[in-house]
Amino acid sequence: MNSSTPKVGFVSLGCPKASSDAERILTQLRAEGYEISASYEGSDLVVVNTCGFIDSAVEESLDAIGEALNRNGKVIVTGCLGAKSGVVQAAHPSVLAVTGPHALEEVMSAVHDHLPKPHDPYTDLVPPQGVRLTPKHYAYLKISEGCNHRCSFCIIPSMRGDLVSRPIGEVMNEAENLVNAGVSELLVISQDTSAYGVDVKYRSGFWNGRPIRTRMTELAKALSELGVWVRLHYVYPYPHVDEVIPLMADGLILPYLDVPFQHASPRILKAMKRPASGENNLARIKAWREICPDIAIRSTFIAGFPGETEEDFQQLLDFLEEAQLDRVGCFAYSAVDGAAANALPDQVPEEVKQERLARFMEVQEAISAAKLQQRVGRIETVLVDAVDGDQAIARTMADAPEIDGVVYLADAEGLQAGDLVEVQITSADGHDLRAGPPEF
Ligand code: SF4
């Protein structure tokens, strides 16, 4: 790379889906011969990939744009907040261009306008697996964009549009390239993984000359042939989700389901306009556990949604006690600019939201801690994430990176990130586990 190579700085905020957009842009920049610079000062321009999901994310994004402008001066904005170009331009009129989410072509065209392509794009060809932001041994696999639902607290469909599924052949080729490049774990993401293929009527695509339907179960089966960990995120509890549980019981994909239930009171679920809100989730969870006793269920919830009464909230706590979920996140409801829920009556006062959030966490922490405690003494396979001397940090099949717990491994000499090893769990705290080599 010579000093005349144009250099682009890249700042990425937001969720794994935003990271996946960022990876595509970085891959294209590298494919065209741009250098990715690690500093504002060393870049010819900076791309800021923003998040606009909640108000604090909007502020963080606007601050990041401001910092890039101060330290570099030439800034292109993309990502979810970019869908509201008026907000960005009002705060930072000097940005060069603003594009919305998953707008690879628009971002590249803005980059070309302000920083022409290098003369020889063939000097720095991208490896087939692309450029990734996650550590080398795991990767996010985005299978669709957008969402057909209209949850009243969410503005993602207005920013990202309706569901568009990626062709299954393209998804499988990307997965295969990632595995060939050394990835040991694929994390399937989208706004609604259970809806994969609805928009194309589940039509068949081709992978390695073989027809495969564009559908979650068929995708999960095909991914399982790659011989790595496959983890499903953002799955809604539709009846057809039951089909993937036997794949988990058979060890084909990880026994892990990330199901954002958000609430348990039918009244609140209806006000939230949640997908599959009429399902009897407790019965479904029980049936899943009968088929796959080791399944780890992760979920997220909102406390203090508009109209939530003490009775609704108590229903949520009762659900938690019954469901015995493994990993749970909870947020106090926070109004998102542009969301339909802002207009709902009976907004819950802030101190009540916070008080309910604290009660929720107290109940769930006791459940999570007891569930972790039950695993002490067990032998489990873990994936090593990082090694430092004779200590390592790893994850069990029940833990997704960045959001769930970790396993602290003792006597880890010789291990490397990406290794799968059998360990024996020696102790547990409220969130994480400790383990060492198995003692037979
Ligand atoms: S399912 Fe609901 S919360 Fe999720 S992206 Fe779609 S509208 Fe938003």
Compute the distance from residue 149 Cα to the ligand 1 centre, in Å: 6
Q: Work out the average pLDDT over 307-315.
A: 96
Compute the distance from residue 370 Cα to the ligand 1 centre, in Å: 31
Atom 2 of ligand 1: nearest residue by CA position:
151
Residues 203-260 have pLDDT tens digits of 999 998 899 999 999 999 999 999 999 999 999 988 889 999 999 999 999 999 999 9
Nearest to 353 by CA among 378, 331, 385, 372: 331
pLDDT greater than 90 at residue 57? no
Confidence bin at 175 (pLDDT 50/70/90): very high
Nearest to 140 by CA among 97, 108, 171, 104: 171
Q: Within 13 A of 276's CA, how many CA atoms are on the CB side?
A: 19
pLDDT greater than 70 at residue 17? no
Confidence bin at 16 (pLDDT 50/70/90): low
Distance between the two ends of the chain, CA-based, in angstroms?
Answer: 53
Question: Measured from the CB, is residue 341 less than 6 Å from ligand 1?
Answer: no
Mean pLDDT for the chain?
A: 89
Confidence bin at 336 (pLDDT 50/70/90): confident
Compute the distance from residue 157 Cα to the ligand 1 centre, in Å: 7
Largest distance between two CA atoms of the chain: 66
Question: Measured from the CB, is residue 154 less than 6 Å from ligand 1?
Answer: yes
Question: Measured from the CB, is residue 192 less than 6 Å from ligand 1?
Answer: yes
Would the CA dihedral through 188, 191, 194, 198 be positive or negative? negative
pLDDT value, residue 126: 56
Compute the distance from residue 15 Cα to the ligand 1 centre, in Å: 14
Q: Alpha carbon of 96 to those of 34, 73, 239: distances in Å?
A: 18, 9, 47
Question: DSSP letters along 375-393, please?
Answer: TTT-EEEEEEEEEETTEEE
pLDDT value, residue 2: 47
Compute the distance from residue 404 Cα to the ligand 1 centre, in Å: 21
Question: Measured from the CB, is residue 147 less than 6 Å from ligand 1?
Answer: yes
pLDDT value, residue 101: 78
Compute the distance from residue 16 Cα to the ligand 1 centre, in Å: 15
Compute the distance from residue 152 Cα to the ligand 1 centre, in Å: 9
Confidence bin at 77 (pLDDT 50/70/90): very high
Compute the distance from residue 151 Cα to the ligand 1 centre, in Å: 5
Indicate the range of 164-178, 188-202, 426-440 predicted with least confidence.
426-440
Q: Which residue has the higher pLDDT, 64 or 101?
A: 64
In the block, tokens 């909102």 appear at 302
Coil, strand or helix at 287: helix
> How many C-beta atoms lie closer than 10 Å to residue 327's C-beta?
22
pLDDT greater than 80 at residue 117? no
Question: Measured from the CB, is residue 191 less than 6 Å from ligand 1?
Answer: yes
Question: For the chain, what is the total number of helices (H) and then of strands (E)?
Answer: 12, 20
pLDDT value, residue 310: 97
Atom 8 of ligand 1: nearest residue by CA position:
154
Question: Measured from the CB, is residue 151 less than 6 Å from ligand 1?
Answer: yes
- For a mutational test of ligand 1's pocket, the pick from 145, 153, 156, i.e. the residue with the most ligand atoms closer than 8 A to its C-beta, is 156
pLDDT greater than 80 at residue 87? yes
Q: Are 405 and 432 in contact (CB under 8 A)?
A: yes
Q: Which atom of ligand 1 is nearest to the CA of 273?
A: 2
- For a mutational test of ligand 1's pocket, the pick from 148, 155, 192, i.e. the residue with the most ligand atoms closer than 8 A to its C-beta, is 192
